[in-house]
Amino acid sequence: MASFKTYRVDSKFKLSRIDPGAKPFLEGSEAAQRQELDTLAIELDRLQNLLHAEGRRKLLLVLQGLDTSGKDGTVRWVFSRTSPLGVKVTAFKAPSAEELARDYLWRCHAVVPRNGEITVWNRSHYEDVLVPVVEGWIDKEKTRERYAQINDFERLLTQTGTVIVKCMLHISKDEQRERLQARIDEPDKHWKFSMDDLAVRRKWDAYQQAYEKALAATSTDEAPWYVVPADSKLHRNLMIAKLLVKTLKDMKLAVPPSDPALEGLVVE
């Protein structure tokens, strides 16, 4: 039986040991798997309503991955049955001049979830220990400093009621090639393609190494990392949906006691 522990990052973590094409959480026919995903999406909606009703805690889902790994698709399918009022999504692009004038965590702290909310970060503060490292903009000492700052930041969030789930969507180089080519070959997908995608792809090995080091340094008891094999889009979505449902159930959410004034109240 598939276990999340297998894909949880620890101190001995090696990204190369995880097969991007693995499908440990897929069982049965494709039709059955899609039905299961729909059932999980409905359950997520129920649990999000409980989270909102309780009003004391919140959940932050961090999605990281190379281009075409499926961050947008994950949001689209995993939260397909959840009320748009219950889930907020923030996509992090290259920092603006306004953001560059402040510390790198400022733009993240501004969009953390409120009590009762689920917030999804499509990319995140981890861009600041990936891109600058690969491009050589920061040295090893500065990188280690940022790892520590990120751990402190996430500890602050967890100590103030935020449950953090971090997922690295792990795809193979061959799968990325096929997805990028599809964006080039299909005119209605051209908007998804950027020549910068190819520049990043040429640094594939450097990004794999940067991810491995960043995940190992920032996977903590309070905010663990999970590596999600993502060559299969359906597997990716199912694994993350199951992880979120498990996380919310483990929170033991409960509706607060009713107002005694409502007992026997009749609306005329």
The fraction of the chain above a pLDDT of 90, given in percent, is 88
**With 80 as the cut, is the pLDDT of residue 1 above it?**
no
Q: b/e string for 20-41 if b means 16 or more Cβ within 10 A?
A: bebbbbbeeeeeebeebbeebb
**With 80 as the cut, is the pLDDT of residue 94 above it?**
yes
Q: Is 260 inside any structural domain?
A: no
Nearest-angstrom CA–CA distance, 117 and 119: 6
Q: Is 268 inside any structural domain?
A: no
Beta-ladder partners of 229: 170
What is the number of domains present in the chain? 1
**With 90 as the cut, is the pLDDT of residue 131 above it?**
yes
Name which of 211-215, 247-251, 264-268 the model is least confident about: 264-268
**With 80 as the cut, is the pLDDT of residue 139 above it?**
yes
Could you tell me the pTM of the whole model? 0.95
Q: Is 259 inside any structural domain?
A: no
What is the mean predicted confidence (pLDDT) over 69-79? 96
Nearest to 90 by CA among 76, 75, 111, 116: 111
What is the mean predicted confidence (pLDDT) over 170-192? 94
Question: Tell me, what's the pLDDT at 86?
Answer: 86
Q: Count, in order, helices (H) and strands (E) of the chain.
A: 10, 5
What is the mean predicted confidence (pLDDT) over 126-138? 97
Q: For residue 46, what is the domain's CATH number?
A: 3.40.50.300
The first and second tokens of residue 27, run together, are 């069982």
pLDDT band at 256 (very low <50, low <70, confident <90, very high): confident
pLDDT band at 20 (very low <50, low <70, confident <90, very high): very high
**With 90 as the cut, is the pLDDT of residue 260 above it?**
no
**With 90 as the cut, is the pLDDT of residue 263 above it?**
no
Question: Tell me, what's the pLDDT at 167?
Answer: 98
194-247 pLDDT per residue, tens: 888 999 999 999 999 999 999 999 999 999 999 999 999 999 999 999 999 999
**With 90 as the cut, is the pLDDT of residue 259 above it?**
no
What is the mean predicted confidence (pLDDT) over 18-47? 96
Domain holding 46, by residue range, is 4-253
Question: Tell me, what's the pLDDT at 258?
Answer: 84
Question: Tell me, what's the pLDDT at 257?
Answer: 85
52-63 pLDDT per residue, tens: 999 999 999 999
DSSP per position, 31-45 = HHHHHHHHHHHHHHH
Q: Is 264 inside any structural domain?
A: no
Rg (CA), the chain: 20
DSSP per position, 210-240 = HHHHHHHHH--SSS-EEEEE-SSHHHHHHHH
What is the mean predicted confidence (pLDDT) over 119-129? 97
Q: Is 29 inside any structural domain?
A: yes
What is the mean predicted confidence (pLDDT) over 85-94? 92
Q: Is 249 inside any structural domain?
A: yes
